[in-house]
Amino acid sequence: MKKTALFALVVICFQTFCLPLQQSFAQDVKTLAATDLPDSHVYLEKAMKNSRPDHSRQIEALLKKMTLEEKVGQMTQLALVMIVSGRDQNVKADPEKLEKAIVKYGVGSILNVSDQALTVDKWREIIGEIQNASAKTRLKIPNIYGIDSIHGANYVRGATLFPQQIGMAATWNPILMQKASEITAMETRAAAIPWTFSPVLDLGRQPLWARYWETFGEDAYLAKVMGAAFVRGIEGNDLKSENHVAASLKHYVGYSMPLTGRDRTPAWIPENYMREYFLPPFETAVKSGARTVMVNSAEVNGIPGHVNKYLLTDVLKNEYKFDGFVVSDWEDIKKLVTFWKIAKDEKEATMMAINAGIDMSMVPADYSFADYTIQLVREKKIPMTRIDDAVRRILRVKYELGLFENPMPSESAKNNFGKAEYAQYSLEAARESLVLLKNQNNILPLPKNKKVLVTGPTADSLISLNNGWTWVWQGSEESLYPNKPTIQKAIEQKLGGKNFEFVQGTKITRPPNTPSNGTPTDIDVEVDVKKAVEEAKDSDVVVLCLGEGSYTETPGNITDLTLSETQLRFAEAIIATGKPVILVMVEGRPRIINRIADKVSGILLALNPSSEGGTAIADVLFGDYNPNGKLPFTYPRNPNNLIMYDHKLFETEETGFGNAANKAQFDFGTGLSYTTISYSNLRLSSKSLPMDGELTVSVDVKNTGNRGGKESAILYLRDEYATMAPAGKRVKRFAKVSLNAGQTKTLTFKLNKDDFSFVGMNGKPVLEAGDFTVTIGGLSDKFTLK
């Protein structure tokens, strides 16, 4: 065939098959992006409607056949290193280790990676060996493999990554969250992994915390909605489907509120605050169908999470009717002895944890849990009824996942991995997650004919765009990242290589062989500051990219939220050139920037928007996308001024207590746009309501600008006085809508007694008569509950 004819044939094939397929992908993403969320509560109520098949008959029949040793084996979870040899991509199942774990001990679950993310085929090879070994056991009970798919299937090479949860919270878009989770589930199950240790439902109310970026922010209601969306996307309506996996809610409960801000340290949370703030996201996710729960590694009110029978059994299992299983976190039963000192030895700790409600122990590196549990049952220190209850729960999830029928997904499940359109969904999520915090004199969007200098430690870093849980635990292995554009590369592409200059300036580095011992590992170093300053003088505008590297858990502990002195000095040197500066903060927690915030012309916040974040940031900076993200937390101005949005009113007012200066750098819900949005015609269905009445709230939202955009409308409610000092305001509903230039949409919400009540000192809801204020979009109106 002649080359011209061959070329013509290729073109015809592309136009006939590939182009329509690409266009349909783009149309699907465009449709999703344009889908309105008219009322968060309607979405939430729908998410909590789910049903599951009843496998009780099969479970009870199997349970009767099981020996004590087989039951305890199901309660045991070991790390992958216990059954493999080799490293990195050369890791493989070790027959001798596998025989001991699966056949001798009957271990019911394996977790984690050996060193780094593996390919789909390598995962299927290893898990296939595990399931084959399980099939050789007396009762042939399949294994359940668990992994941390935190922001995508991040331990599967080539998987699609999405913004971290704090970024997804900034979208205020549960529809998008659900779609991201659906893709995550498909790519996780394609690798033969049926269980993910996500979502994180801890509240982000302590910004020092190293896992702050893994949360949905500081508000319980937003976390409830986004958490339910995550669960529905991950689990779907049929866990047996090769499109879904089991979720694990973590870290139950109160883990995210350490007094010191340091990971795995004590929290003090009164019962009424626990039920008002920290428990609701978990309760809602349980009602949304979540099948497993992972436990808080720390302690609350002096009681370590792993022995808190009140929270694990009385509340979670009995009050919330949770019938899935509870898994410990990494080595946390052992830590009851070594860290928390509440047991004299591991055997006693094992007894305490199981009797409190732990169903499966993430041991993870020896067989002590199984040995001690068998001894304790025989000594009648753990009742057989407790063992049977734990195993019944574990078997229920395995049946619901279809593992007894198909312990391995079909080869065709791999077709769900790495589809072209997934990257477009990730890009849309990254775009919606970006929050424009400052736009002085409408300096943004930038024109493409101006000379731009891009500089700073996060300008050329995929690591900063992603953070931890990315290919490796700490997200720190740059060589594993895909070929995606960083911020500076995306801007260079946007400008066609013209009017563009990149100078590193400073760099975030991690010294080689840094131990993960709870100390900060990243350091900021100057690279070519003088060159950056000189280039700034010769530019029309500077895009200054600051922020953080990657971290999670104890390696991310810090003692001061203030941005590093190296970065601040560099920023001040750039600002001193007199050129307009656009500050892009790439971070997972709000680092203090009060020294420079008032001196820059624009501020764009990028909350770990993933590997598509570079493209998304360039799109926003140059006006190819209209930003619409809003802060899911309060951005502090000072390191000792960590105030939440729902503080008491007097805390930020001059009322004789000297609190007028107690102001945030940026308030919760802040987020600018390139268009203008106005609210009008706020209407309440009644100004007087009976105690069990329902209030309808309506408001008109109009795009008064000259370009289309999206708006997240947040409805707040304030109880004007109560027998317990009320919050200044609380989020009760929200909506996210697309508005063309000049378009108006009417939003309608319904509030009821659950919204009007608060949790009293006895831990029960309290509904009181009195005055309430509804606020949305700067408009307010009052009603009275009688």
96-138 confidence digits (pLDDT tens): 999 999 999 999 999 999 889 999 999 999 999 999 999 999 9
Cα separation, 233 vs 177, in Å, equals 8
Mean pLDDT, residues 308-325 = 98
Q: Give me 519's structure tokens.
A: 């100390």
Task: Find out whether the peptide bond into 383 is cis, omega within 30 degrees of 0.
Answer: no
Mean pLDDT, residues 174-201 = 98
Q: What is the pLDDT of residue 652?
A: 79
How many degrees, rounded to 5, is the angle at CA 609 between CA 576 and CA 291? Answer: 150
Those residues whose C-beta lies under 8 Å from the C-beta of residue 113, and which sit 6 or more positions away, are 80, 147, 155, 472
Looking at the chain, the whole-number percentage of residues with pLDDT higher than 90 is: 90
Residue 398 has pLDDT above 80, yes or no: yes
Residue, of 505 and 31, whose pLDDT is higher: 505
How does pLDDT run across 712-771, given as a tens digit for each residue?
Answer: 999 999 999 999 999 999 999 999 999 999 999 999 999 999 999 999 999 999 999 999
Written as one letter, the residue type at 736 is K
Cα separation, 263 vs 252, in Å, equals 15
Q: What is the pLDDT of residue 657?
A: 64
Q: Verify whether residue 329 is a known catalytic residue.
A: yes
Mean pLDDT, residues 158-163 = 98
Residue, of 510 and 152, whose pLDDT is higher: 152
358 in Cβ contact with 328 (< 8 Å): yes
- List the catalytic residue out of 329, 359, 522, 524: 329
Q: What is the pLDDT of residue 656?
A: 55
Q: What is the pLDDT of residue 402?
A: 98
Residue 228 has pLDDT above 50, yes or no: yes
Cα separation, 503 vs 506, in Å, equals 9
Query: CA-CA distances (angstroms) from residue 740 to 703, 735, 743?
Result: 7, 16, 5
Mean pLDDT, residues 313-332 = 98
Residue 284 has pLDDT above 60, yes or no: yes
Residue 9 has pLDDT above 80, yes or no: no
Mean of all residue pLDDT scores within the chain: 94
How does pLDDT run across 131-156, given as a tens digit for each residue?
Answer: 999 999 999 999 999 999 999 999 99
pTM of the model: 0.95
- Helix residue spans in 577-705 (DSSP H): 613-621
Q: What is the pLDDT of residue 756?
A: 98
- Backbone φ and ψ for 287, nearest 5 degrees, come out as -70, -20
How does pLDDT run across 593-631, given as a tens digit for each residue?
Answer: 999 999 999 999 999 999 999 999 999 999 999 999 999
Q: Give me 751's structure tokens.
A: 């509030």
Residue, of 77 and 17, whose pLDDT is higher: 77
Mean pLDDT, residues 254-261 = 97
How does pLDDT run across 633-656, given as a tens digit for each residue?
Answer: 999 999 988 999 999 988 877 565
Please report the sign of the dihedral spanned by the C-alpha atoms of residue 374, residue 378, residue 380, residue 385: positive
Q: Give me 142's structure tokens.
A: 């399949």
507 in Cβ contact with 457 (< 8 Å): yes
229 in Cβ contact with 43 (< 8 Å): yes
Q: What is the pLDDT of residue 23?
A: 43
